[in-house]
Amino acid sequence: RMAALVASWSGPGQTADGRHVSVLANVADGTSARTAMKYPVEGVGLFRTELAFLDRSDAPSVEEQTGLYREVLEAFPGQKVVIRTLDAGSDKPLKFVTQLDEANPALGVRGNRIAGEHPDIRTAQLDAIAAAAQGREPIPWVMAPMIASAAEAAEFAAPVRERGLVAGVMVEVPAAAILAEAILAEVDFVSIGTNDLTQYTMAADRMSAELAALTDPWQPAVLALIARVARAGQEVDKPVGVCGEAAADPLLACVLVGLGVTSLSSAPAAAAAVGARLAQTTTDQCRAAADAALATSDPAAARAAATAALES
Looking at residues 148 to 187 of the shown chain, list those that interact with Mg ion (rule: CB under 5 A). Answer: 172
Q: Does 296 bind ligand PEP (CB under 6 A)?
A: no
Which one of 42, 196, 216, 249 is in contact with ligand PEP (CB under 6 A)?
196
Spatial distance between the Cα atoms of 27 and 29, rounded to a whole number of angstroms: 6
Please identify, using beta-carbon distances, which residue of 87 and 188 lies nearer to ligand PEP.
87
Spatial distance between the Cα atoms of 241 and 202, rounded to a whole number of angstroms: 21
Please identify, using beta-carbon distances, which residue of 87 and 188 lies nearer to Mg ion.
87
Please identify, using beta-carbon distances, which residue of 48 and 70 lies nearer to ligand PEP.
48
Q: Which residues, in sequence order, are CB contacts of 123 under 8 Å at separation 6+?
A: 159
Give which of ligand PEP, Mg ion, none residue 24 binds (C-beta under 5 to 8 Å, depending on kind): none
Site track for ligand PEP across 28-67, x = CB under 6 A: ------------------x-x-------------------
Q: Does 217 bind Mg ion (CB under 5 A)?
A: no
Please identify, using beta-carbon distances, which residue of 98 and 296 lies nearer to Mg ion.
98
Q: Does 195 bind ligand PEP (CB under 6 A)?
A: yes
Kindly tell me the sign of the dihedral angle through the C-alpha atoms of 210, 211, 215, 219: positive
Spatial distance between the Cα atoms of 278 and 264, rounded to a whole number of angstroms: 11
Which one of 60, 193, 220, 299 is in contact with Mg ion (CB under 5 A)?
193
| Buried-exposed string 230-240: b where 16+ CB fall within 10 A, e elsewhere | bebbeeeebbb
Q: Does 243 bind ligand PEP (CB under 6 A)?
A: yes
Q: In degrees rounded to 5, what are phi and psi of residue 291?
A: -60, -40
Q: Looking at 54-62, 135-143, 188-196, 279-287, which segment touches ligand PEP (CB under 6 A)?
A: 188-196
Which one of 89, 220, 241, 244 is in contact with ligand PEP (CB under 6 A)?
244
Q: Does 216 bind ligand PEP (CB under 6 A)?
A: no
Site track for ligand PEP across 155-174, x = CB under 6 A: -----------------x--
Please identify, using beta-carbon distances, which residue of 48 and 113 lies nearer to ligand PEP.
48
Question: Which residue in 179, 167, 103, 113 sits closest to 145, CA to CA?
Answer: 113
Q: Which residues bind ligand PEP (CB under 6 A)?
A: 46, 48, 87, 172, 193-196, 243-244
Q: Which residues bind Mg ion (CB under 5 A)?
A: 172, 193, 196
